[in-house]
Amino acid sequence: MTNKPITARSDPARMFMAMPLVFGALLMAAVGLLAFLVWRGGTPVGPRIAVTLSGQCFDTAQPLIRRRVAGMGLGEPVFDRDGARLRITATLPGIDAEREQRQIPIRLSQVGALSVFDGEEPLMEGSQGVESVGLQLDENGAAMAVVELDKDVARALGTHVHDHPDGALTIRLDAEVVAQRPNSALLETTELRIIGEQTLPAERMQAAADQVIVLQHGPLPCAIEVVEVRAVE
């Protein structure tokens, strides 16, 4: 008796067999995103801190900073303005208090200007043309910030990508490179996806959420410095 050779599955069959795994991964990522968004709107349980900021534009910057405070889920915020200084006292969410105490002052003071370059050529600067920003999942179930661009800005970027297929778009948040996008992938919609290089889902989720908070309400009109961060009773 001879064994019949095993017939390799066709590509459609392999894709069908893999569908439960793909669906499971996407479901887990979606549950993670939902849990993260619920946490953003939850009750803060962490320590209370006071962050003192220094800058020359609080007349126009303070409303933006207040929106960031709300977006980060800080509890019972109190704002005390004294000329070029602004002290914010609030309760941390308490999911990871050590990280929150380190990162939240940075997010409050960050200018938050989005720029797009191809090599050294600036294609978009200072969040020009940014209409809205949201948190979504990509095709692999990973979190990402998605920027909705003005139609004219999106069209100009799309034309450049089409005309320079060998280049790549470098996306910067202030001076930091947050993503790179090859021009071989055409930009055919008004959405600009910020897909970072973080490998762990939790790190990708946190980076995307921070980017959304900083970008969502527009850049601060001037540089802001963190003067002091201290715990309060």
pLDDT band at 153 (very low <50, low <70, confident <90, very high): very high
Q: Which amino acid is at 68?
A: R
CA atoms within 13 A on the CB side of 225: 6
As a whole number of angstroms, the distance between CA 46 and CA 72 comes to 13
The arithmetic mean of pLDDT across residues 71-92, rounded, is 95
pLDDT band at 44 (very low <50, low <70, confident <90, very high): confident
pLDDT band at 20 (very low <50, low <70, confident <90, very high): very low
Residue 176 tokens, joined: 């930091």
Tell the residue number behind the tokens 């410095």, with chain if given. Answer: 225
Q: Which helix (H) or strand (E) holds 26?
A: helix 11-40
What three-state secondary structure class fits 25? helix
**Contact at 8 Å (CB) between 145 and 211?**
yes
Q: What percent of the chain has pLDDT over 70?
A: 82
Pairing of β 114-118 and β 121-124: antiparallel
The verdict on pTM exceeding 0.85 is no
- Does position 13 have pLDDT exceeding 60, yes or no? no
What does the CA dihedral 46, 50, 56, 62 come to, rounded to 10 degrees? 50
The arithmetic mean of pLDDT across residues 79-99, rounded, is 94
Paired with 111 in beta bridges are none
- The pLDDT, as a whole number, for residue 38 is 39
pLDDT band at 11 (very low <50, low <70, confident <90, very high): low
- Does position 217 have pLDDT exceeding 60, yes or no? yes
Residue-averaged pLDDT of the chain: 85
Nearest Cα to 66, choosing from 84, 80, 45, 83? 80
Residue 182 tokens, joined: 């090859």
pLDDT band at 198 (very low <50, low <70, confident <90, very high): confident
- The pLDDT, as a whole number, for residue 64 is 95
* Angle value at C-alpha 217, between 53 and 232, nearest 5 degrees: 35
Beta strands in 57-205 (DSSP E): 75-82, 85-91, 114-118, 121-124, 130-137, 143-149, 168-173, 176-182, 191-194
As a whole number of angstroms, the distance between CA 24 and CA 47 comes to 36
**Contact at 8 Å (CB) between 201 and 35?**
no
The arithmetic mean of pLDDT across residues 200-211, rounded, is 89
**Hey, how many other C-beta atoms are within 10 angstroms of the C-beta on 115?**
18
